Amino acid sequence: MSSPDPECLFCRIVAGDIPSTAVYETGTTYAFRDINPQAATHVLVVPREHHEDSGTLAAEAPELLADVILSGVEVAKQEGIESSGYRLVFNTGPDAGRTVFHAHLHVLGGEQLGLFGRPH
């Protein structure tokens, strides 16, 4: 499903109906700062089209998934964290704390990140 969903938070952010702090954009993707950052740099990259999660995005529009990842790499370059290192994350389902059902890539970095996996 790729048409805009008026109930979807990130569709509304892409449309400009809800304000966000833009970081990078292309014809197919939009990157903006996370409202509740979990690292010194925390940017979200979304496809402009609505796709529910990374798995459906990969199945429905694999080139668009590649655009999202390449945009994440460009964000890292632009934010000056390409050489210091960064993490690209897709959360899926409740155990991963997933809350927004429009596929989105987290770009995290700008400081030493914690280990991922079990809480500590």
Residue 68: CB minimum distance to ligand 5GP, A: 13
C-alpha to C-alpha distance for 13 and 28, rounded to whole angstroms: 14
Residue 96 three-state SS:
helix
Interaction of residue 11 with Zn ion, rule CB under 5 A: yes
Binding at 8: pick from ligand 5GP, Zn ion, none (beta carbon under 5-8 Å per type)? Zn ion
Contacts of ligand 5GP in 11-40 (CB under 6 A): 18, 20, 32-36
Residue 110 near residue 39 (C-beta atoms within 8 A):
yes
Strand partners, 66: none
Given the rule CB under 6 A, which residues bind ligand 5GP? 9, 18, 20, 32-36, 44, 91, 97-100
